[in-house]
Chain A
């Protein structure tokens, strides 16, 4: 009797209201537009006109402005987007773009050894599941399937104000990183990004070799498909500030360069390394490894010349 009363009260006071609350929360949250849902809709709507598709992580999301291209372009990059998700986006959307002529893929310092699911912002995994239809994520990770699992994430309030990760225009242009918003000591803040990106200092040889093999497989799948369809690929290492590239781990940088040389030779693609490009001055950067709006315009015009 006691036990039943306890169960009934628990159901009445806790389980039922909590389930109702989380259901409403989940429903409401999913209906608030964010960068991922916006890009999904935009790519579906504009799939017949897009000629240049930009993939990649924050280096291309922040660093390339599709409106500065002379051909219809779309920026499908997202923060921390790894090769697995570039692969997913390419095969979900790009293969249905009849006018697609060029794909731009960043080869960042850390790209060959990084996986979104292992990063601090692995919560972004669920954005691909919920708003872009990625069905390959296992259910053993429920936090990648439900917004309500993000406990302690105060973004509901931001989301209700329409700010949930809505960081781009319908062309995919990033709407932030203004020069005026830059930290005063941005040049000194290299330790965080360099530390995060230095996989050679954090992993053993076997782990690194496995990671590179998986990421290379995703990238080369895209390259093979582009070759087959006659789509040009530009592999790009975006510009960075000297305090960033001067502190990069040399063996990791050399391994990344060796891979770039090998893959560009095998697939006949262009690799453009602008990491230390002198055309980018302090006024072009937002932080040590990201361009600001002005820098993005400059880089976009440079890239546009590589048709």
Chain B
């Protein structure tokens, strides 16, 4: 079930009332209710997907328990625990690999052999990628690895564990939660918190505005521009590049806002996934602000075990490059994603080698309402670098990406672009202004609580009507495909 659907509009209030009214007194029953409605939510796409999430959950749950049991009983406990953990990782990565990467690697292998004149016939599977598989698989992996590393005790209650994996707000597109943060919340009795729920509603509204007004309207224009890029002038292609940057940000962060806000209605606190990345002053800061739950996952489970930054320069470069390449592949099996990853390695490495990658860790323009000219220039430069890289991300082939870039730099860059939508630009301007105003907060409407009641409610209603009349027509979120 998509957040952007009439079904969800009915589903959410019913689940909310059932959760607090009917099952609020008994924690076990309440958790069982969470699992049930989450499976309904996920099964809405296709009931067959439920089998996969069940296998992932069951394997991870069982391996957690087994790891603890062998630690108590076996003589060579650590080695056995390692094997159990590795087997669970293999099963989960195996499922992900078959669904997500088999066709890509098969085709790439065939191409490689073809270069040597050998014709390799490998059948492609053409499987439909289950929605959100990368998100819940990584969440499940983090649990077993944490149990193996003794950072977490194995969860004995299967209902709590299944609720942790399948909790519907963040099931299909994150944030990718850590067991250390989310599991304890399902173990404790939740009490309704008015302030959190009200702020959750504001965050949901903000998420819907970004997704339905900006992302979906940008998406329509981006599709048109990419479909006919060989007939359009350079300024339109540059505009397409900018539109896609806003589309991907508003689509994904919009989803995260809706997910986090919805979870807060249920007394659950999810981790922050975006920290206004459009206000980043360099690429390193951008990556600390973008898709935080995945990037910290890489850091904790890949980067640190590889040695992190406390090692030789060569190893630091290797570790950083590995993270960017894995992150690129996480988005799917396509050379365009790998090119996008390599592009970001090239942008990031100079900062790393010059020890400037942690130059901007604090808030931008702290204590001031406007940025300095230097900060504005830094933010604009970072935005354009990110936008340029997204051409690879959006293109269907590497050839198309280079062709797009080639056509983008011509004298017609100075001509007026077609596909200029004033309403959309106004919406982007409004979003940027509100996010700037709230840049030290959790989301773009956080500080409206300080406004007079009439202005505050007027703003919410203004946004609601803006969504109603100017929403685009797409339902799916870009990141569902990952």
Stretch of B65-73, B364-372, B430-438, B468-476 on the interface side = B468-476
A154 CB–B CB distance under 8 Å: yes
B457 CB–A CB distance under 8 Å: yes
Residues of A within 8 A of B193 (CB): 2
The dominant DSSP class at the A interface is: helix
Query: Number of contacts between A and B (CB, 8 Å)?
Result: 35
CA–CA, A3 and B197, complex, Å? 9
CA–CA, A6 and B19, complex, Å? 15
CA–CA, A272 and B6, complex, Å? 45
A152 CB–B CB distance under 8 Å: yes
Report the nearest B residue to A7, measured CB to CB: B17
**A202 to chain B: closest CB distance in Å?**
16
Interface residues of A (CB under 8 A from B): 2-3, 5-6, 9-10, 13, 17-18, 142-143, 149, 151-152, 154, 156
The dominant DSSP class at the B interface is: helix
Q: CB distance A142 to B469 under 8 Å? A: no
Report the nearest B residue to A22, measured CB to CB: B468
Q: CB distance B192 to A152 under 8 Å? A: no
Report the nearest A residue to B472, measured CB to CB: A152
Interface residues of B (CB under 8 A from A): 6, 20, 192-194, 197-198, 201, 212, 216, 457, 460-461, 464, 467-473
Q: CB distance B192 to A3 under 8 Å? A: yes
CA–CA, A149 and B10, complex, Å? 13
**A16 to chain B: closest CB distance in Å?**
13
B473 contact from A6, A13, A149, A152, Cβ within 8 A: A152
A152 contact from B20, B457, B470, Cβ within 8 A: B470
Residues of A within 8 A of B216 (CB): 152
Q: CB distance B212 to A152 under 8 Å? A: yes
A154-B469 contact given A6-B197, A142-B6, CB 8 Å threshold: yes
A2-B457 contact given A142-B6, A154-B469, A154-B470, CB 8 Å threshold: no
CA–CA, A9 and B212, complex, Å? 25
Q: CB distance B6 to A152 under 8 Å? A: no
What are 8 sample pairs from A and B whose C-beta atoms fall under 8 A apart?
A: A2-B194, A3-B20, A6-B198, A17-B461, A143-B6, A149-B6, A152-B471, A154-B470
Report the nearest A residue to B465, measured CB to CB: A21
Residues of B within 8 A of A9 (CB): 198
Given contacts A6-B197, A9-B198, A142-B6, list 5 more A-B pairs with CB under 8 A. Answer: A2-B192, A3-B192, A18-B464, A143-B6, A152-B212
CA–CA, A156 and B469, complex, Å? 8
Q: CB distance B194 to A6 under 8 Å? A: yes
Residues of A within 8 A of B461 (CB): 17
Report the nearest B residue to A9, measured CB to CB: B198
Report the nearest A residue to B216, measured CB to CB: A152
Report the nearest B residue to A151, measured CB to CB: B471
Report the nearest A residue to B4, measured CB to CB: A151
CA–CA, A142 and B197, complex, Å? 29
Residues of A within 8 A of B469 (CB): 152, 154, 156
Among A10, A142, A152, A156, the one with the most B-chain Cβ atoms within 10 Å of its Cβ is A152
**A12 to chain B: closest CB distance in Å?**
10
**B70 to chain A: closest CB distance in Å?**
45
CA–CA, A18 and B463, complex, Å? 13
CA–CA, A17 and B457, complex, Å? 12
CA–CA, A46 and B216, complex, Å? 44
A13-B457 contact given A6-B198, A143-B6, A151-B471, CB 8 Å threshold: yes
Q: CB distance A5 to B194 under 8 Å? A: yes
CA–CA, A151 and B473, complex, Å? 8
Residues of B within 8 A of A17 (CB): 461
CA–CA, A143 and B468, complex, Å? 14
**A83 to chain B: closest CB distance in Å?**
26
Residues of B within 8 A of A2 (CB): 192-194
**A143 to chain B: closest CB distance in Å?**
7
CA–CA, A6 and B194, complex, Å? 6
Residues of A within 8 A of B467 (CB): 151
Residues of A within 8 A of B194 (CB): 2-3, 5-6
CA–CA, A10 and B197, complex, Å? 11
Residues of B within 8 A of A151 (CB): 212, 467-468, 471
Report the nearest A residue to B191, measured CB to CB: A2
CA–CA, A136 and B192, complex, Å? 44
Residues of A within 8 A of B472 (CB): 152
